[in-house]
Amino acid sequence: MKLRYKNYILLLTIILLTGNSCKKFVDINKDPNNPTSAQLSLLLPSTEISMAGNFTGIINGTSAIMQHTIPSSTLSRYQESGSDFSSSWDGLYSQTLNDIEAIITAGTTQQQWGYVAIAKIEKVYIYSLMVDMWGDIPYSQAQLGQQNNAPALEGGAAVYEKLLTLLDDGIADANKITATTLVPNSSDVFYAGTKASWVAMANSLKLKMYNQIRLVDPARSTAAIKTLIAGPLINSNSTDFTFKFGSSINPSNRHPWHKSEYTSGKSFYQSQSFIDLMFGLDDPRLRYFIFRQNATVGLNNSSNGNGYYGRNPGDGTAAPADQARRSTFGIYPAGGLYDNAPINNLPLTNLYLTNTGAIGSTKVVAITDGTGAGITPLITYAMVKFIRAEAALTLNTGDNARQSLSDAVTANLSSVSTYAAANGGIAMPAATITGYVNRLLAQYDATDAAGKLNLVMTQKYIACYGNGMEVYNDYRRTGLPVLRPLLSPLNVFPLRLYYSQTELSANAFFATNGNQLQVAQQITPVFWNK
């Protein structure tokens, strides 16, 4: 899977770069193999694409740890290895971050402040998540090339401080541009260069980071968040910081979950605990998230179920011959199929996950099913609202937690609905969205403070399907949602991810204590995890 995805990134980058820059390559007065300066219009979209690709391994791994999915690896049983995240670590450092540094250096020299601003914001986003995932990481010495090929680990708390400063620098650079766009629209795959969107994304990232460290310094986080909620933040689904995949089969630029599972061979089970959670909550998103290949199969490959055949977290038994029967990824976020087939054994009390209008049928999926044009939700309007709800409940920021919860769930349901309708599925009825949200608000009103936080974090857990990194962060910070105990764990819940084995082998800094550091990752909290 890792090799296939690297090939995908290479192909997608070639398509993007050649499609947007033909004029640059036909200038016979310049040697394209020896450019005198970094071609910022080519480098920036390349970093954005490689970032999304290199995050895939981390998202898959954290989604397994957090019971969103059950891959063929042992991560769903809490057993890590040095190869689990090596492609992501190596790719981010050797490709994405190197190119970002080149943009910042060349862009500063050329006073191309729009490119510099986006690159700095992107750099903060990547490094902040690397701290969240690994704790201590190479930072100040990381992009020095031959000047230092053995960068030391830097404490996560110190890196966060530098990143918050860099984020302010990026916003300041953006504000040097008086135009509405920072760069040409063809040079930015996220926001087509729109200045307001990048500034709102930067502030939303800052909001996320201050909420992340709220246990370390509550007073500081409270003051910062009170300022940030005045805006501008990501304030609509249309300005989500989301990576969008394509629909091409050859060369393939489809969502990695679609590439992996809409074939005869499959690498994932769907998480039975996640399915059961949504089924029990009468959650209409279940039809969008999960597609059933068989209408009557059940857990343990039985024949008297309702088609939601997944695997319990921590199940270490061998997989039977069930690849044409197990449930798979649906239309959102993978770009697969919408499940419009009748569901057996639905509770009579269900109001939103029902068989009304369910006239479709299950089928064994193939590469031609769905569009594959899925998304990776990185920072969305819904996430911003969930963060504001959590901060209001835990820090007393003065924000309206109830309204933020309502806005967050409405935004996610609407986003799923809009995406599905545009990709061969069925839109969610407006009455379903309103009714589901109103029922949550009634539950919110009827519970205590702990129950309110549990409701917020559980709904965020569902809404972040497709981004395991965020729910992994949330769980270590709040202990929510309550996860299903593993059937057969191989280790304790991992508090950090394992370092890349390539880094341990190649970086002289790890020569004497690499193995000890690796083992400690499993049980050592990240600095903000108090």
Residue 26: predicted pLDDT: 29
d(CA 393, CA 409): 17
CA 88 vs CA 55, 106, 497: distances in Å: 6, 26, 11
Whether pLDDT at 461 is above 70 = yes
Residue 192: predicted pLDDT: 98
Q: Match 């090799």 to its residue by tokens.
A: 3
Interacting residues of 322 by C-beta distance below 8 A, sequence separation 6+ = 297, 301, 309
- What does the mean pLDDT of the chain come to? 92
Whether pLDDT at 24 is above 60 = no
Number of H helices, E strands in the chain: 19, 6
- Taking a C-beta distance cutoff of 8 angstroms, is the pair 175, 202 a contact? no
Label residue 142 by pLDDT band (50, 70, 90): confident
Average pLDDT over residues 327-337: 98
Whether pLDDT at 4 is above 60 = no
d(CA 9, CA 354): 39
Please state the φ and ψ torsions of residue 249, each to the nearest 5 degrees. -90, -40
CA 241, 245, 248: angle at the middle one, nearest 5? 165
DSSP per-residue codes, 336-365:
-B---S--TT--TT-SSS--TT--------
Interacting residues of 50 by C-beta distance below 8 A, sequence separation 6+ = 9, 13, 91, 95, 96, 99
CA 160, 161, 164: angle at the middle one, nearest 5? 85
The widest CA-to-CA distance across the chain, in whole angstroms, is 74
- What's the predicted TM-score (pTM) here? 0.93
pLDDT, tens only, 369-421: 999 999 999 999 999 999 999 999 999 999 999 999 999 999 999 999 999 99
Q: Match 């990752």 to its residue by tokens.
A: 521
> In the chain, helix, strand, coil percent, each to 5?
50, 5, 40
d(CA 97, CA 122): 9
Residue 146: predicted pLDDT: 61
Residue 150: predicted pLDDT: 85
| Residues counted in the chain | 530
d(CA 416, CA 41): 32
d(CA 349, CA 178): 56
d(CA 235, CA 200): 8
Label residue 149 by pLDDT band (50, 70, 90): confident
Strand residues in 280-391 grouped as ranges (E):
290-291, 328-329, 375-379
Burial profile 130-165: b = 16 or more Cβ within 10 angstroms, e = fewer: bbbbbbbbbbeebbeeeeeeebebbebbebbeebbe
Whether pLDDT at 249 is above 60 = yes
CA 443 vs CA 382, 402, 437, 455: distances in Å: 19, 11, 10, 8
Residue 246: predicted pLDDT: 97
Give me 152's structure tokens.
């030391």
Average pLDDT over residues 508-530: 92
Average pLDDT over residues 134-161: 88
Dihedral angle computed from the Cα positions of residues 388, 394, 398 and 404, in that order, rounded to the nearest 10 degrees:
30
Give me 438's structure tokens.
């109103």
